Structure 1
Amino acid sequence: MNFWGRLAQFLKVEKRVATRDAYLGAFFDGRGHGGASPDAVIAALGVATACIARRAQGLASVPLCVHRNLGPSNAMRAEDHPLYDVLNTRPNDYQSAYELREFLIRSHDLLGNAYARIERDNRGQVTALHPFAPTMVAIERLADGRLRYQATDFSGKVWTLLQEEMLHVRGPSRNGIYGLSPLQIVHGAVGLAIAADEFARSYFANGSTPDGYITYPNSTSKDQPDEIRNHWMSKHGGANRFAGPAVFTNGGKFESVRINADEAQLLDSRKYSAEDIARIFDCPPTSVGIVDRSTYSNTEQEALALVRNCLAPLAARFESAFARCLLTDAGRRKYFLRHDFSELLRGDMKTRFEAYRLAREVGVYSPNDVRRLENEAPIPGGDIYHMPANWTQLGAGTMNGGVAA
C-alpha cells in the first residue's frame, strides 16, 4: 500500500478524534478519549503542548558536541569528526540540525519513539539523517534477536531497514522495542484534564445554568410537561439562553440536579490538572506559564531546575541512543556525545563575573579563558595563569615554634 493509501486508512481509523495533529489523534483515540470533542482535546493539551515545546526547543537549541576521549577526566571537542556537522549544522538536504532534533524530541515526547534513517558513505561514516513519522514505522524482531524496521517516509517511499541503518530513540519501554511517552504512562491525568475542559465547555455553553427539573404541587395534564419543557428551552436553551428570567406559574419550582462550577471546584481542578501534566514532563510550573505562586527568587531557581531535572535526563537518553546508533564499537571507545548546557546555566552578569574572578584568583581560568566564555576575542598575554602569592605547597616544610623549618 502506498503512502496516501496508508494515510487514508490511518485517518479513517482515527476519524473520531479529528485533532489538528495526527499524532494526538492516534494517542487519544487508542486510550478511551475518542468521545471527547476535538476542541476539548486540544484545550486540555495546552499545558502538555507547552511542556513538549519547552523540552524540544530547549534541548534542540544547545550544541550536541562530539568529544574525543583522551583518558580519565580528559576530553576535547572533536569538531573535525564527520558526525559533528550532521548533528549541529546540516543533517540532510532539507532540514537544519535544529529542525531535525526538535522533530525527534517532539516525536519522542508524543509517541515515545523517534526514528531517522541513517545514510553512510563508503567508509561507514554518517553523512545524513532522514526522519520518519513514528506512526509510519513498524518494528519486527528477527530470529537472531536483531530488529528490522518497515518505514514509510514523507514522500511515500517504503523502506526496509536493519537496526544498523535506523536511528531509534525510545522512551521507557515495556518490551525493549517500542517506547512509551510520558502521556501514555500517566494518561489518566490527561483524561482528567479533558473531562474538566468538557465540563467547563458544557457549563458555559448552557449559560452557566445547571440541569434540573421543574416541579408543580398539583398534577398536570398529559401535554403540559412537554409545553413547559419547550417553553423553558426556547427561553433558556441554545442561542436564546439569555432571553430574560424564568417565570413559573401555578406554584412551579426549578430544582437543580447538576453540580455547579463552585461545588465542582472547576478552577481548582483545572489548575491542578495543568500542574499535574507539567509534573509528568518534569517541567517547573513557571516554565509553562503557571505563575500564580512564582516569585523572583523561585523563578530563577526553577529556570535552573528546568535544565537539571527536565532537559538533562532527556539529553542523556538522546546521547546514549545517538552513540548506540551512530558510532561503531571502536568509535564509542574513542568518542562520546554531550549536550553543552553552559549557555542555559549561565547566571546574570554580576554572578558570572564574580565566579570568573574567583576562578582567576585560584588559577583555574586565565583572562583569555574568561573572554572565550563571553565570546570575546583573546588578548595578547592573556593565557597566563596566576595563583595567590601567599600560597605554599602542602607539606613543603615543617613548623617549629611558628617558624618554617
Structure 2
Amino acid sequence: MWPFRKTETRIATSDPFLGEFLGARWQASADIEKASGHAVAHRCISVIAENLASVPLKVYKRTEDGGREAATEHPLYGVLHDETAPGLTAFEAREWLLASALTQGNAYARIDRNGRGQVTALHPLVAGTVTVEVLKSGRLRYKHALPDGGTETLLQDEVLHIRYRTKDGILGMSPIQIAAAAFGLALAQQDQAGAAAENAFRPAGALVFPDKIGGAGKESVTAKFKERFVGALKANEVMILDGGAKFETFSFNSKDSEFLDSRKLSNLDICRVFGVPPSVAGITDDATYSNIGEESRALVMRCLAPWAKRVEMAMNIALLSPEARKTLFIEHDLNALTRGDLSTRYAAYRMAREGGWLSANDIRGYENMSRIEGGDEYIQPLNMGLLGANDNRSKLDDAA
C-alpha cells in the first residue's frame, strides 16, 4: 500500500456556481442554461416575461382629488414606455430583465440620469457579469465586467436591481436552483429520451453465443455491433448473425417503466415552480374550454401580478427619489389581461354606465376609441338617490 497520503484541503461554501466551477458534486443541482432550455421551462419563462413586458408600464402623478394621471412629461415615462436605451425598445429591455430574474434570480440595469437627477435611460446588464459587494455603510456596490476585460464600478444609486426570493436582501436566488431536484429529474428524463431517439427507439438487448468467448473477443464483437447497428440512421440495417449467435431483446420499454407518465409529472412540476397554469404552458391533457379561460385569469392573478409588484417596487425605489415618490409612482396596467371577451366587457360597461360611475368617454377610452361630445356626463337611475332627499314627511308635518 502506498505509504504517503495526500493532504486534502476543503473549502466550505454554499454558492452553487462556485461549487460547479470547482467540480463539486451537488446532491441536487441543475445547469441554469440547460434547464431554461427545457421546453416547458422555456415556455413558462417566455409567458411571464412576454406578457408582463407587453402591458403598459407608466409613471403616474397623483392628483389633488385623489386620482391619477399619466406623467407623460417626465423623462422616465418614455424610458419605460417607448425606448429604454438607444436602439433598445422598452419591450425588449423589460423582457430581458424579467427573463434574467426568472432564470438567474437577479436582473441588473445601469441607470443614466440628467442634471436634475431624472432617469433618462436604462442599460440592462448580463447577470453573470455583475458582482455585488456590501460596504461598511450597509450600501451596495456593483462591479460590472466589461467585454474588453475591464471592470466598471457602480454605486447603489446607479443600478436597478430586481431580485427573486432573497435570503440576505442582497442577492436573489434562482428559481431553477431552488427547485434543482425537479429540474434535474426533468433534464435526466430529457437526456434519456434523446438517447432512445438516437438509437431509433430500438430496445436494448444481448448477443447470446453458444460457446464462451474471450474478453478481447467480447469487446471486439460489441464495438463492431455498435458501429454497424446502433444509431438512428442505421435503423433499417440488415442484421446477420452466424456461429449460433442470437440477439435477444430486453422486455423493458418506456411504457413498462411508466417513463412517459413520469415525464408528464416532471413537466407539471416545472409549471408549479414558475406558477404558470399547465394549459398556458402548452400542456392541454386535462384542458377544457371553460378551465382554459379560468387558468388564463389565474395566470394574471397568481403569477403576473406578484411579478408586476416585484418590478414596480424595485423601480420606485431605484428610479424615483424619496421626494419624487410623494407625487409620482410606477405601476403596470394589467387591465388588458383581465378584460375578458367582448360580451363580458360590454355587460360590465353597461352596469358601470347605468350605475353612474363610468361615462361614455371613460368606456370609449378603455376600448381605444376617440372621445365624443357630451360623453363626459355621468347618469344616475331615477329610482336611486340620497337617503331622505325625496322624503316629504317633514313638509307634511310643517303644513299640519
**TM-score bracket, shorter-length normalisation:** 0.7 to 0.9
Distance 1:396 1:66 in 2: 42
- How far did residue 74 of structure 1 move? 3.5
Pairing of 1:25-36 with structure 2 (within 5 A): none
Distance 2:19 2:48 in 1: 19
| Paired letter, 1:104 | L
Select 1:171's aligned residue among 164, 176, 184.
Answer: 164
Q: Deviations over 1:235-281 (max 9, x none)?
A: 53345454246757658573638x42112222212222222112211
TM superposition shift of 1:404: 12
Counterparts in 2 of 1:119-198, with a 5 A limit? 119-153=112-146, 158-198=151-191
CA contact (8 A) 2:109 2:159 kept: yes
TM-score, normalized by length of structure 1? Answer: 0.82
- The residue number in structure 1 matching 2:212 is 220
Partners of 2:36 and 2:195 lie apart in 1 by 14
2:370 corresponding residue in structure 1: 377
State the partner residue of 1:254. 248
Equivalent residue runs for 1:76-95 within 5 Å: 76-95=69-88
Contact 1:62 1:341 in 2 (8 A): yes
Displacement of 1:43 after TM fit? 9.2
Structure 1 residue 243 and structure 2 residue 243: aligned?
A: no
What amino acid maps onto 2:297 in structure 1? L
Cα distance per residue 1:254-313 (max 9 Å; x no partner): 3638x4211222221222222211221111112221112211111111111121111111
- The code of the aligned residue for 2:94 comes to R
How far is 1:154 from its partner?
A: 5.5
- 1:106 and 2:99 are equivalent in the alignment: yes
Counterpart of 1:288? 281
Q: Which amino acid in structure 1 is aligned with residue 82 of structure 2? A: T
The answer to whether the 8 A contact 2:35-2:183 is kept is no
Partner of 2:46: 53
Structure 1 window deviating more from structure 2 (158-167 vs 259-268): it is: 259-268
Comparing 68-77 with 295-304, which one deviates more in the overlay?
A: 68-77
| 1:315 match | 308
Once residues 59 and 180 of structure 1 are traced to their aligned partners in structure 2, the CA distance between those partners, rounded to angstroms, is 20
1:130-166 per-residue CA deviation (whole Å, 9 max, x = no partner) reads 1211111111111111111111345766321110111
Amino acid at match of 2:49: A
Match for residue 385 of structure 2?
392
1:353-389 deviations in Å (ceiling 9; x for gaps)? 1111111111011111111111111111111111111
The one-letter code matched in structure 1 to 2:116 is R
Preserved contact between residue 284 and residue 306 of structure 1 (Cα < 8 Å): yes
Other structure's SS at 1:337 match: strand
Matched residue of 1:325: which SS? helix
* Aligned residue identity for 2:40: V
Are 1:44 and 1:190, in contact at CA under 8 Å, matched by a contact in 2? no
The 1:292/1:232 distance shift into structure 2, 3 A limit, reads: same
The normalised TM-score by structure 2 is 0.83
Report what 1:263 is aligned to: 256
The AA in structure 2 aligned to 1:256 is F
Report the AA paired with residue 204 of structure 1: A
Secondary structure, aligned partner of 1:304: helix
In the TM superposition, residue 77 of structure 1 has moved relative to its aligned partner by: 2.7
- Offset of residue 333 of structure 1: 2.4
Flag the 1:253–1:333 CA change in 2: closer, same or farther, 3 A: same
Are 2:84 and 2:121, in contact at CA under 8 Å, matched by a contact in 1?
A: yes
Select between 329-338 and 128-137 the one with higher mean Cα deviation. Answer: 329-338
Preserved CA contact (<8 Å) 1:27 1:111: no
- 1:278 and 2:271 correspond: yes
Q: Which runs of 5+ in 2 are unaligned?
A: 1-16
* 8 A Cα contact 2:316 2:325, kept in partner: yes
What is the number of residues matched between the two proteins?
A: 374
The one-letter amino acid of 1:243's match is E
